[in-house]
Amino acid sequence: MSGITQLRIGPYIYRVEYVKDLRAADDTRLAGNIEYEQNVISVDRDNVEAVQLVTLFHEMIHGILANAGIVHHKERLIDAIATGMVQAFIDNPDLAEEFIRPECDHYHGDDRIEPCTEGDVLKKLGNIGMEK
């Protein structure tokens, strides 16, 4: 699952690296790790793809909470949210597509599509709150 190499969390752009045999300082195995000061997320590349994806969400949720100044949080709660979010995307394959994509891809009529810009996403997300 090495396709995602960067992840924006709030104002920070994290580099995502896939590491063989990821371990903590005390040598215990880790599925993932986030370094807030260096903006690096590490994911153990030996785990199966689904575990790596949940791990990426898990570390992202740590980052979201840390950005809000919530530095002490329960791992079980993070796991519940991360697995729940991934399962929601699996159970509802149109969710991400419906949420963002339709209004941000720029079709040129020749199968060439420019990716979303941050402005596109902000516009789409801003419009969601305005729809009544």
**Contacts to Zn ion by CB under 5 A:** 75
DSSP conformation class of 117: P
CB of 128 vs Zn ion, minimal distance in Å:
29
Using CB positions, name the residue nearest to Zn ion: 75
CB of 45 vs Zn ion, minimal distance in Å:
18
Query: Nearer Cβ to Zn ion, position 75 or 91?
Result: 75
Amino acid making up residue 111: D
The Cα–Cα gap between 118 and 83 comes to 26
Contact 56, 83 (CB under 8 A): no
Please return the burial class of 129, using the count of CB atoms within 10 Å of its CB with bins 0-12, 13-18 and 19+: exposed
Query: Nearer Cβ to Zn ion, position 68 or 130?
Result: 68
CB of 27 vs Zn ion, minimal distance in Å:
17
Query: Nearer Cβ to Zn ion, position 27 or 75?
Result: 75
CB of 75 vs Zn ion, minimal distance in Å:
5
Phi first, then psi, for residue 4 (nearest 5°) are -95, 110
